[in-house]
Structure 1
Amino acid sequence: MVAGPYSEHRLWEAVSTARRFARPENLVAGTLGGVVATLMLHPLDLVKIRFAVSDGLSSRPKYRGLVHCMGSIWRQQGLRGLYQGVAPNVCGSGASWGLYFFFYQAIKAYKQEGRSEPLGPTQHMISAAEAGAATLSFTNPIWVTKTRLVLQYENVECQRRYHGMFDALTKIYKHEGIRGLYKGFVPGLFGTSHGALQFMAYEELKKRYNEHLLRPTTTHLSTHEYLSMAALSKTFAVASTYPYQVVRARLQDQHTSYAGVWDVMKCTWRNEGLRGFYKGMVPNILRVTPACCITFVVYEQMSHLLRIT
């Protein structure tokens, strides 16, 4: 069933809570937001992952920076190269955002039941972390597939070539089993702190902003207000938690083999120092900040629309 420390019992507990308390518009709006943002910004995600796994191996292409990387891929493969791995990325982002909002709103509603005062920052953080763990249990195989497809270089022959999302899923399962599909799950769980910090900051910014204007905390904001809240909360979360993304990408990389999370961390520190844990952070911020803004705005507007229709 589900691999990793997030147990099957806890997973189905989260699902049961979601079925009882969540509203379908959260799932629909979150999915649409994730898909739109991913389609627009996938090339920056591809660049981020290539920088994150750049550990000095001679077989990899060497890039001098963001512009050089995108230019090299464009010259060799054109637009197709910049959108390599987009299918699992769209599926993963759509499913992740949809399930994340679905679980998050359900868990919040569960915690809010019977309480008169609104939830505080700690409860928002815990709710987001639980939603992230439940979501990752479903989506981790898609992220492994995306990483493998993104790291197929034009001039480097892999032991096994993948010819699309389903071909990659099949071959990973055939050659590496369920363990292969859940590579990077542990650092991914640490990554739930990213979502927890982001959602805590987002909820608190909305709450304090409405309180400052002497309005109810549930007041629907304007598009530019949602954009500001989303950008600030995402930047805060990325700056706080980025190294886990490097560790997860390296574990999922088909060109190298590590014994586990601790082995990745030791090798990265020994060979590249602290800087190694922040490789790809610039293209990541350039991607995730507008992606988050697009996702949150689409989510807020769509969920508001679906609630009133």
Structure 2
Amino acid sequence: MNVKWEHLAAGVSGGVLSTLVLHPLDLIKIRFQVDEGWSTLQRPQYRGILHAITSIARQEGLSGLYKGVTPNVWGAGSSWGLYFLFYNSFKSHLMEKNQVQTLSAPSHMLIASEAGSLTLLLTNPIWVAKTRLCLQYDALARPTMGENKHTKFIQYRGLFDCVKKIYKHEGVKGLYRGLIPGLFGVSHGALQFMAYEELKKFYNKQKNAPPDAKFTSVEYLTFAALSKIFAASTTYPYQVVRARLQDQHREYAGVMDVIRQTYKLEGLRGFFKGLSPYLLHVTPNICIVFLVYEKVTSRK
């Protein structure tokens, strides 16, 4: 297998940069996702994105907007780095094996799914820690109505303290909360990469350019944005389910319990909570990641 370590470096660079810039929107998205609306658990209430930003800044300080940024940077950097490394290694291997210059859309989806599944298995504990830290409110009333009334909410001092305490109190199972919907979410990455590759291939074909032709920064940004919006619009509900499973303030029996309760009490709308800050976050995020990645790997 042809392993190119520059893909790892490029993915890490793009993931870290985009996360540092856009983390506050990611934090707001998670807080919207877990807000059931009906619960008497006194979570902070927000009327919209701007109200959330101003409320968090006023109540928790500017640092409140960056709760969970450390695991987010570690998670985004390692995930994008590993994803690009695995994806391009699998892609190179398949192209050499089949002796072709380009792959079909199903082939892109297959290798993207393989790369995404392997990456998630290695990084899931970091994402659990990120969710817990993003949902570490300064003050929270005692839980009621289906929540575990005897739960004492744990305070975490940072990424490693969070991982250590989750393992201590919940074991390995706690570090892999949300893995099942996360694996379903691999389809998100698969659809995104398939769309990204197909857009590049289609564009080159229209210009009668070779399959490996390079593009301008604007073209890369356009392909990245379109592919992300396509993938996000079709797979978003799994993220709500995953966030709710990873939240320490609420107890669910499993994936189906989250789906059942969310649909019963909130309807289909409940599965799309946080979509607006998510799109505002991921669209420029993915543009930064892919642009940095393409520019780094195109250097000779």
Q: State the TM bucket, normalised to the shorter chain.
A: over 0.9
Match of 2:202 among 177, 184, 208: 208
What is residue 269 of structure 1 aligned with on the other side? 263
Match of 2:188 among 166, 184, 194: 194
Does residue 124 (structure 1) correspond to residue 108 (structure 2)? The answer is yes
Match of 2:83 among 78, 97, 100: 100
Alignment of 1:286-297 (within 5 A): 286-297=280-291
Q: Deviations over 1:168-227 (max 9, x none)?
A: 000000000000000000000000000000000000000110111010011111111100
Q: Percent identity?
A: 57
CA distance in 2, matches of 1:21, 1:255: 45
What is residue 87 of structure 1 aligned with on the other side? 70
Shift of 1:109: 1.1
Deviates more, 1:237-246 or 1:52-61: 52-61
What is residue 146 of structure 2 aligned with on the other side? none
Match of 1:54 among 26, 35, 38: 35
Residue type at the aligned position of 1:283 = P
CA distance in 2, matches of 1:44, 1:65: 12
What is residue 131 of structure 2 aligned with on the other side? 147
Deviates more, 1:190-199 or 1:149-158: 149-158
Shift of 1:159: 2.0
What is residue 10 of structure 1 aligned with on the other side? none
CA distance in 1, matches of 2:55, 2:22: 18
Deviates more, 1:58-67 or 1:38-47: 58-67
Does residue 114 (structure 1) correspond to residue 108 (structure 2)? The answer is no
Alignment of 1:6-17 (within 5 A): none
What is the SS of the residue equivalent to 1:228?
A: helix
Residue type at the aligned position of 1:227 = L
Residue type at the aligned position of 2:112 = A
How many residues get paired? 287
Residue type at the aligned position of 1:79 = L
Does residue 156 (structure 1) correspond to residue 137 (structure 2)? The answer is no
What is the SS of the residue equivalent to 1:21?
A: coil
Deviates more, 1:188-197 or 1:49-58: 49-58
Shift of 1:303: 1.1
Shift of 1:116: 3.6
What is residue 219 of structure 2 aligned with on the other side? 225
Q: Deviations over 1:109-156 (max 9, x none)?
A: 111113243210000001101100000010000000000000011222
CA distance in 2, matches of 1:232, 1:252: 29
Provide the alpha-carbon RMSD of the alignment: 0.9
Q: Which runs of 4+ in 1 moved over 4 A?
A: none
